[in-house]
Amino acid sequence: MAQGNSQARPARPRGPMGPRPVGGVVEKPRDLVGTLGRLLGYIGEHKLAVVAGILFAIASVAFNIVGPKVLGQVTTKLYEGLVAKVQGTGGVDFAWIGRTLAILLGIYVASSACNLVQGWLMTGVTQKVVYRMRREISEKIAVVPMSYFSGHSKGDVLSRITNDVDTLGQSLNQSITQLVTSVTQIVGITVMMLTISLPLTGVTLLTLPLSVVIVGVMVHFSQRYFREQQEVLGRVNGIVEEDFAGQGVIQVFDRADAAVEEFERENDRLFTSGWRSQFLSGLMMPLMTLVGNLGYVGVVVVGAGLALNGSATPGDIQSFIQYVRNFTQPIQQLANVSNTLQSMAAATERVFEFLAAPEEEGPARPELPAAREGRVEFDHVRFGYASDKPVIHDFTFTAEPGQTVAIVGPTGAGKTTLIKLVQRFYDVDAGAIRVDGVDVRDWDLAALRSEFAMVLQDTWLFNGTIRENIRYGRPDATDEEVEAAARAARCEHFIHTLAGGYDFVINEEGTNLSQGQRQLVTIARAVLADRPALILDEATSNVDTRTEELIQRAMDELMRGRTSFVIAHRLSTIKSADTILVLRDGDIVEQGTHEELLAAGGFYAELYNSQFED
């Protein structure tokens, strides 16, 4: 049998801890460039589709850019034909104009077709990136340590999975496409304008520095509010989730006004950050439009002078005016892209922060014992959720295979903490815990936790049938085994009183069952799991005395031959335990059987007798 190291080991990191943030100014993204760079790594997995999409986007813009030049030639040809007709020297060549307009129609159709293809390709890439992120988040939730959820609200984590990933998905396709097309359009239109008139191109380009300055200033001031908007949205979701889950408690304690006040306070912050970010980003469009109109006026004035002295044809002026309008449009689009990138970067950074959260550390070379007997040893264990505030001081005890160990003591004595340490939800600060001779830090985590079946005081049922909830303990169990487990847990009777019986659907919170019925279903789940060791944490605390007696008989049969840890406040339920450990302030103060501890007249006797005082 493999033996674990009995020497004390340093505690491993347990992940970030801390209270939920409440207010204050949220800083700008700590690594905007790094976030976008990491996102490009995700996109890079689909490089062929991305490159093809970019090429089709460039082709679409190229066809679109050629259009005004061709249309200008048609205008010039028509003008020259009308002038010749007036002078009596010729007429309008409608055949040439018809062929040219047909070519122009083909150019615009080709542009639309290329745009359609690139949209189809980029939408596929976007959805694949979002799919991968959601899958990685789902996988991450299963490996982050329990301490992470002690320092982060459920609503905030949920917001990262839903709101932030949705923001990324909605922004990514638009951002990439507009970025490529806008840059291509600016370069292409500049080239076309230079082929028409250098003076008019110079007038147009004078507006470019002003546009760049406006975009830079707006991005600088609005980015902090985009991130704050995403983070406050996570807190608002957390409050909503808590209020829905605890609505009964809120009403009973008349805290509805306080709950509304808390929500309104965070909702006001969400409104303020959202208003500021959207207002600042919304300023870009009118400012860019103003700059574009200034350039447009300049081109008209200078172009009129060039036309009068014969330096430019009417078709050239018409084409150039179209190009000016098309030149300012991609600059405005780039401004919009900068807004979208800010929102996307803030959301993406929050997703990556969660994906970068610490994970449970498995051993480099996992060990398994030679035989699984259910022996559990606590060797001078010391632990605290905060390093300077130990909950368990110096705990030493050995649970022999098949032994039933009851753990009792006042609230906060460390009873449930010991169970969490056995399953390595947390690592000890000093000492060691060994299961079948192997330190839990050397076990394969999945194998270690598969040794135990748990029934907790806080029941957890998911939205599904009673049969599915019981089968969660062993997914490959047959219907007959599920029903046998329900009979052993004494819950078959109430199941048959429900509409549909075992196919009765439990809602998301399990509120369509009583608290005791929910407890019975979780006990049936543990019976079905049939693990070598059992952990019962106040497993019968929510059932009536008669049902408790029935369950206790089932539990006595279930625990036979298995190592069992029973945490109970009702001391009458643990009289038959092989050993009772009495904890006080993280230390064992008494140990023995029920009769031995009563005869000793110590702390256990005091706890036991206090439950029967008048």
Q: What string of DSSP letters covers 81-92? A: HHHHHHHTS---
Strand partners, 566: 406, 536
Residues whose CB falls within 8 Å of the CB of residue 143, separated by 6 or more in sequence, listed in order: 359, 360
Question: For residue 48, what are its two tokens?
Answer: 């062929």
Enter the DSSP assignment of 500.
Answer: T
More confident residue, 83 or 74: 74
Higher pLDDT: 411 or 67? It is: 67
Q: Which long-range contacts (CB under 8 A, 24 or more apart) does 213-219 make?
A: 214/284, 214/287, 214/288, 214/291, 214/335, 215/284, 215/288, 215/334, 215/335, 215/338, 218/280, 218/281, 218/283, 218/284, 218/287, 218/335, 218/338, 218/339, 219/338, 219/342
291 pLDDT tier (thresholds 50, 70, 90):
confident
How far from 87 is each of 74, 75, 94, 320, CA to CA, in Å?
20, 18, 18, 28
- Which whole number is the average pLDDT over 76-91? 76
Every domain of the chain with CATH number 3.40.50.300 lies at 376-610
Q: Considering only CA atoms, which of 300, 287, 276 is closest in space to residue 331? A: 287
Architecture of domain 32-355: Up-down Bundle (1.20)
For the chain, where do the domains classified as CATH 1.20.1560.10 start and end? 32-355
Question: Helix (H, G, I), strand (E, B), or coil: what is residue 377?
Answer: strand
DSSP states of 305-345 as a string? HHHHTTSS-HHHHHHHHHHHHHHHHHHHHHHHHHHHHHHHH
pLDDT at 13 over 50: no
Note whether 260 and 321 are within 8 A (CB).
no
| CA angle centred on 16, ends 12 and 21, rounded to 5° | 165
- Give per-residue pLDDT as tens, 177-229: 788 888 888 888 888 888 888 888 888 777 777 777 777 777 677 767 777 78
Please tell me the least confidently modeled range out of 54-58, 146-150, 320-324: 146-150
User: How high is the pLDDT of residue 613?
Assistant: 52
Any idea which residue has 């923001």 for tokens?
167
Beta strands 376-383 and 430-435, pairing class: antiparallel
Looking at the predicted structure, is the pLDDT value of residue 3 above 50? no
Is it true that domain 376-610 has CATH number 3.40.50.720? no
User: Would you state the pLDDT for residue 52?
Assistant: 92
Whether the CB-CB separation of 276 and 226 falls below 8 Å is answered with no
- Burial of 1: CB neighbours in 10 Å, binned 0-12, 13-18, 19+: exposed
> CA-CA distance, 525 to 519, in Å (whole number)?
10
Separation between Cα atoms, residue 173 and residue 102, nearest integer Å: 33
97-141 confidence digits (pLDDT tens): 888 889 989 999 999 999 899 889 988 888 898 889 888 888 888
Q: Tell me which of 470 and 572 has the higher pLDDT.
A: 470
487-517, pLDDT tens digit by residue?
888 888 889 999 989 999 998 777 788 877 8
> Stretch 579-589: mean pLDDT, rounded?
84
Q: Rounded distance, CA 295 to CA 281, Å?
A: 22
What's phi and psi for 394, nearest 5 deg? -155, 85
Q: Render pLDDT for 415-430 as a digit per residue (tens, 0 to 9).
A: 888 888 888 888 888 9
More confident residue, 299 or 558: 299
Our measurement of the distance from residue 37's CA atom to the centroid of its chain's CA atoms, rounded to an integer in Å, reads 20
DSSP state, 423?
Answer: T
The CA distance from 535 to 242, in Å, is: 28
- Asked whether the predicted pLDDT for residue 173 surpasses 50, the reply is yes
* pLDDT (average), residues 331-351: 78
pLDDT at 575: 80
- Which pLDDT value is given to residue 543? 64
**Residue 336 confidence (pLDDT) above 90:** no
